[in-house]
Structure 1
Amino acid sequence: MNNTVQNLILIVDDNPTNVKVLFECLKSAGHRVLVAQTGESALEKVQLVSPDLILLDVMMPGINGFETCQHLKASQSTQDIPVVFMTALSDTEEKVKGFSVGAVDYITKPFQREEVLARVNTHLQLRNLTRKLEQLVSERTYELTATLEKLQDSQLQLIQNEKMSSLGNLVAGVAHEINNPIGFISGNLDQALIAVQDVIECLRLYQQEVPVRETIQKKITEVDLEYLIEDLPKMLNSMKIGCDRIREISTSLRTFSRSDTDDKVSADIHEGIDSTLMILSHRLKANETRPEIQIIKNYCSIPKVPCYLGQLNQVFMNILANAIDSFEEANQNSTYSEIVENPNVITISTATNHQQMIISIKDNGYGMAPGIKKRIFDHLYTTKPIGQGTGLGLSICKQIIESKHQGQLTVESELGKGSLFTIILPIV
């Protein structure tokens, strides 16, 4: 049997005559041959070189063939090497025991050349076929894994696009319904304020030029006219401020959900972060269990960045919302006064090195254990109770930053000491 790549066969036998016969037989058939005279020597050799087949004698000094085979099968590096025992024709008990410890076959003594080569070639062929099958399985497993990852990415992309599309449609409708009446009210308030000032001036002139009768004076006292004259412009100004606030919220909603998934646009990242904070402002305010969550902004002067701003805002939303959730978990065993002494703080910092923009979002909340931190970006992994978390948030965030923007999203966290999320985006 002449092979392009010669098979290596290890003969383990302390009988020189047996070794010589087998060596010449196998060598003439085109195999490479290695010899060991004891079980101990064989175990040492297989640590240095991996034979394709081992011919193992049963009776040897030191550890016998059965013990040697057991050692081979117990080691992960040698357990797949086929072992063929060499035994006398009448040793049925030894043959059975050989199979029980892991041998694949046996060769009877005295050796017959044709039998030796037939059994050796059969097991070498089986060995090679097994290797090819393992390789095919490995390749197919790799292909299936890659396909699964692509399917998961596609699923995340579909979910993300659907969420952004739904949010964009909702905001467009809300903005349309809000902006028209707000514009009408705001414009009329300006005119109303002017009209009220004119009416007040007329009242002042009447007070100066016309004598006030007793019934009129009684009504003036009853309605507290001086207070009304002073307070009515203030009320109108408050209404104007309220309209402006609603307009700001509407603008923030449009900025947050900007539907720009087809092409990148140059955008102000600070504007995106601020719009997200506006959306979350109701969760940042003080309540009966804790004071207001403090927001510290360490913004540097940064250029506009080509990005999908709507999707980036989704990343900011997920990270900031998780930080607020972390505070709620950390505050469970703290009193209001204790939280006042150690306030909940989210620090948002931006920096640039002319090639990249670095956005850091740090909180001093509950933090994460190492096991949770390791899996935090995994698909469908969530630490929230059933019905409260989908396991898609941070997984989608990582895809948005790394796949859509060719950036990086990392997290540093320690249980009880908060978390730091770092987003790196290429400027060009």
Structure 2
Amino acid sequence: MFYLHFALFMRRLLMTTNGRADILIVDDQPKTLRLLTTMLEKQGFRVRTAIDGDVALEAVANQLPDLILLDIMMPNMNGYEVCQKLRAAEATQNIPIIFLSAITNTEDIVKAFTAGGNDYVSKPFQAQEVLARVETHLELRKMEQELKHKNMLLEQELMERRAAEIALREALMREKELSRLKSQFLTMVSHEFRTPLTVIQSSAELFATYHHRLNEDERAHQLENIRQSIKTITTLLDNSLLLNYAESNILPYHPVAVDVVRFCKKLVEEINNLNPKRTIHFSHEPARIHVEIDPQLTRYILLNVLNNAIKYSPVTCPIMLEVHRYNGNVQFRVEDQGIGIPANDLVHLFEPFFRAKNVGETAGLGIGLSVAKLAIDLHQGTIQIDSQENRGTTITITLPA
């Protein structure tokens, strides 16, 4: 609608400013038509004529005039009816209409204005009077259009400013949230790094000072402490790096054909070797399942979910990993009998740095699932978490095959 009004305005503005306004004369008297045509064309106006109301409406439909001189007493359709029809249409409701009529009684003149006329000139008319009124109404129309145009530009500018203000507020909110997350991240990282670094330092000092007094089992124990602590730090760094990639929308995604059964067997074997006190039970159907996935991202997804199951469930409770076909896709299902997740926390699990309120002193940054979710999204997959506090958690991940 804005562009329609703007186009109409520019057309009329150009026509009126260069002296070539288009005027439509509607009168059933040929003599009057010739007289007005000659008079107006001498003043540089472009003139069209119509001998009755129907012809006038057709002429207006073909091309909008800048002003209409309209007789009242005409056959078939009088000037009042023509004016009312023009005022009823959005495209023509603002065209200046000057009535020209021999009717001089007050009641009919008032009726002309009530029908929507802008002015009234009685016949016989004076040429100077008609020209003066024509030029006055064209000038008023021009000023009205200029004002409307300025208002439209102002409204457009206000809309752009409001949009800019909204965008700025959103950017400030994002920046504020990013600052909060960075501060939270640094606090959590410093805390999470302190524990394994302390273990490394203590074990190293103990080994350096008393290695000659330690038997083989004690030395192996201290070396294992160092190895596990280094593993923890490496995991923290990897998770932090992946989160940075994910938030910057540069998380690498390189899908290749993979036998996920073989893939999962190797992964489970690796986890079981690193956690000798825990055993992940792996099942699959069928024997081979070939799909296109990103091995690195899928490894991260499953490692995160399986390590959480290990971290938040008792040593005596089993952990299950099941892989199978599902509606043409591949589905991974991890089930534990751990501490579960409070119902109110489920909706926040994929938010960076969020940790459920029942994790206690268990180490963690709360970024693993958020990155895993982004990795699943890159595969155009889904993740579903079903959990009951103190009963356990089942996580189902579906990736397109």
The correspondence of residues 7-406 of structure 1 with structure 2, limited to 5 A, is: 7-186=21-200, 188=202, 244-245=231-232, 248-249=235-236, 251-253=238-240, 255-256=242-243, 269=252, 321=350, 360=378, 362=380
1-structure distance, mates of 2:244, 2:200: 25
1:317-368: CA deviations, max 9, x gaps?
A: x9x959xxxxxxxxxxxxxxxxxxxxxx97958xxxxxxxxx85635699xx
1-structure distance, mates of 2:120, 2:380: 68
CA contact (8 A) 1:11 1:54 kept: yes
CA contact (8 A) 2:57 2:82 kept: yes
Amino acid in the other structure paired with 2:157: E
The Cα of 1:257 is off from its aligned counterpart by: 5.0
Distance 1:363 1:78, change over 3 A: farther
The Cα of 1:124 is off from its aligned counterpart by: 0.4
2:7 matched residue in structure 1 = none
The Cα of 1:41 is off from its aligned counterpart by: 0.9
2-structure distance, mates of 1:175, 1:33: 82
CA contact (8 A) 1:346 1:363 kept: no
Number of equivalenced pairs: 268
TM-score, normalization by structure 2: 0.54
1:281-327: CA deviations, max 9, x gaps?
A: 68xx899xxx99x9x99xxxxxxxxxxxxxxxxxxxx9x959xxxxx
2-structure distance, mates of 1:244, 1:177: 16
Distance 1:365 1:57, change over 3 A: farther
The Cα of 1:53 is off from its aligned counterpart by: 0.3
2-structure distance, mates of 1:31, 1:201: 110
Distance 1:4 1:148, change over 3 A: same
The Cα of 1:59 is off from its aligned counterpart by: 1.6
1:148-190: CA deviations, max 9, x gaps?
A: 2222222222222222122112212221232122222256568
CA contact (8 A) 1:85 1:103 kept: yes
* 4+ residue segments displaced more than 3 Å: 186-195, 198-202, 235-247, 266-271, 345-349, 359-366
The Cα of 1:256 is off from its aligned counterpart by: 2.5
Deviates more, 1:178-187 or 1:52-61: 178-187
RMSD: 4.7
1:24-44: CA deviations, max 9, x gaps?
A: 221222211100111111111
SS of 2:104 mapped into structure 1? coil
Q: Percent identity?
A: 28
1-structure distance, mates of 2:297, 2:161: 38
1:58-107: CA deviations, max 9, x gaps?
A: 12112221221121112222112111112235232222122222211111
TM-score, normalization by structure 1: 0.51
SS of 2:380 mapped into structure 1? strand
SS of 1:69 mapped into structure 2? helix
Amino acid in the other structure paired with 1:44: E
1:192-227: CA deviations, max 9, x gaps?
A: 9998xx65869xxxxxxxxxxxxxxxxxxxxxxxxx
SS of 2:91 mapped into structure 1? coil
1:363-421: CA deviations, max 9, x gaps?
A: 5699xxxxxxxxxxxxxxxxxxxxxxxxxxxxxxxxxxxxxxxxxxxxxxxxxxxxx9x
CA contact (8 A) 1:73 1:80 kept: yes
Distance 1:174 1:365, change over 3 A: closer
Amino acid in the other structure paired with 2:239: S
Amino acid in the other structure paired with 1:48: N
**Structure 2 gaps, min length 5:** 1-15, 255-295, 313-319, 324-328, 331-346, 352-371, 385-399
